[in-house]
A = this chain, B = another copy of it.
Amino acid sequence: MLIVMKPQATGEDIARVCRKIEALGYRPHPMPGAQRTAIGITGNPGPLEPAEFESLPGVAEAIPVSKPYKLVSREVKNEDSLIRVATPAGEVTFGGTELGIIAGPCAIESRDQAFRAAERVREAGARLFRGGAFKPRTSPYSFQGMGEPGLKILAEVRREFGLGVVTETIDPENCDLVEQYADVLQVGARNMQNFSLLKRVGRSRKPVLLKRGMSATLEEFLMAAEYVLSEGNYNVILCERGVRTFADHTRNTLDLSVIPAVQRLSHLPIIVDPSHGTGRRDKVLPLARAAVAVGADGLIVEVHPEPDRALSDGYQSLDPEEFAALMAEVTAIAGVLGRTTARSVPAAPTSSEA
C-alpha cells in the first residue's frame, strides 16, 4: 500500500497518517518528493483497505502496490533517486546527469600502492576511490585484505587526494568499523542475500553500493535493495557485475540488459563493474563503453599502478594509462546521451550568453 499525499498536505497531515499506520502495527516510510510526499507501508501481512486512509486529511489516494518490492519501486516513487555521496572535494551524485565514476585497486596492499593509484585515477577524472580492506575470497588461504590498517590508508587517501572512499563491509559486526571510514559501504555479490548484513547497512547513514549476486534474478536483486530501504536507508546504488552462465570466454557474463530493466521498475541508480563483469583486462574498455551507452549511471573500475604485481585480480585490473583512455572514451559516449563525467568539457557559451 502506498499513501500519496496531496501537494498541499501539511507536516501534521503526514504525521497523522504515519501514526495511524503505526497504530495498526505496521511501519510507515514517508518519502518526500518534488511535488508531494508519498508514504510507503511495510510489515502488513496482506492487502489493506484503501478507504481507511483516503478519509484522512491531506491524503490524495491510497494505492495497492502490486510488486513484491515496494520502496525501491517506481510505483512508490516515480522520479529517479539522486544518491549524494559527500567527499572532501564536494558532493558526487549517482542518478543525475553526471556519471558516478569509482576507480582504484581491488585490494589495498600498501600506502604506496594506494597513493599511486589514487593520484592517477583522480587525474583521469574519478572522484571516488575503491579499495578493499576486507576481502571475501573463495579460498581461506588467499590474501584476505589488510583489515583496519587498510582502512586507515583509505582515510589518508581521502584526506590527501580529496577522493571519496568506497569499500566493502563483510558482516554486521565488521560494519561498525568500516562505517567509520567509508563514504560508501559496498556489499559484495556473494553477500547480496546476506540478509543480516543488508539489515545492518540499512541502519547506516552511509550510502550503500549493492552488487548483484552471481545468479540473482532481477526480482531478487531489487528485493535485496528493498531490505536496505525497509530499514530506513534509501541511499542505495545498484551495481551489475556479471552473472554466471555456461559461457567461458569471460569470467562472468555481463548482463547489460538489466540496466534498462532496473530503470524501468526502480527509481534507484545502477552502475556497472566491467572489471568483475568480464574478468579480462582487454574486455574492460569495450564493455565500459557499452555500459555507458546502454544508460548506466556510472562505473566502478579496478585500476592498479602495477597490475602484474597485484595481490588479487591483477588479470582484470587496468593500469593508469588504460584507465585514462577509458575515461576519455566513456566521456565521449556519455556526451551522445546528454550526460557528463568530471572530464567533460563544458559546452562553450553561445554569443548571446556572452
**In the complex, what residues of B have CB within 8 A of residue A223's CB?**
138-140
Within 8 A of B (CB), among A166-220: 170-174, 190-191, 193-197, 199, 214-215, 217-220
Cβ contact within 8 Å between A137 and B287: no
Write the nearest CB–CB distance from A95 to chain B, whole angstroms: 16
How many copies of this kind of chain does the complex include?
A: 4
How many residues of A are in contact with the other chain, CB < 8 A? Answer: 72
Cβ-defined partner of A286 (8 Å) among B174, B244, B259: B259
Within 8 A of B (CB), among A291-323: 291-295
Within 8 A of B (CB), among A198-254: 199, 214-215, 217-220, 223, 226-227, 230, 243-250, 253-254
Closest 4 CB pairs of A and B: A293-B293, A215-B215, A171-B196, A290-B290
Cβ-defined partner of A139 (8 Å) among B68, B258, B261: B68
Cβ contact within 8 Å between B256 and A217: no
Cβ contact within 8 Å between A257 and B140: no
Is A79 interfacial (CB-CB < 8 Å)?
A: no
| Contact A218:B249 (CB < 8 A) given known A286-B294, A293-B292 | yes
Across the interface, name the chain B residue whose C-beta is closest to A263.
Answer: B286
Cα–Cα, bound, A245→B257 (Å): 13
Is A282 interfacial (CB-CB < 8 Å)?
A: yes
Across the interface, name the chain B residue whose C-beta is closest to A215.
Answer: B215
Cβ contact within 8 Å between B243 and A245: yes
Write the nearest CB–CB distance from A301 to chain B, whole angstroms: 15
Write the nearest CB–CB distance from A192 to chain B, whole angstroms: 8
Cβ-defined partner of A293 (8 Å) among B278, B283, B333: B333
Cβ contact within 8 Å between B244 and A138: no
Cβ-defined partner of A138 (8 Å) among B139, B214, B220, B286: B220
**In the complex, what residues of B have CB within 8 A of residue A123's CB?**
none
Cβ contact within 8 Å between A195 and B137: yes
**In the complex, what residues of B have CB within 8 A of residue A172's CB?**
171, 173
Across the interface, name the chain B residue whose C-beta is closest to A246.
Answer: B244
Across the interface, name the chain B residue whose C-beta is closest to A294.
Answer: B290
Cβ contact within 8 Å between B246 and A250: no
**In the complex, what residues of B have CB within 8 A of residue A283's CB?**
257, 260-261
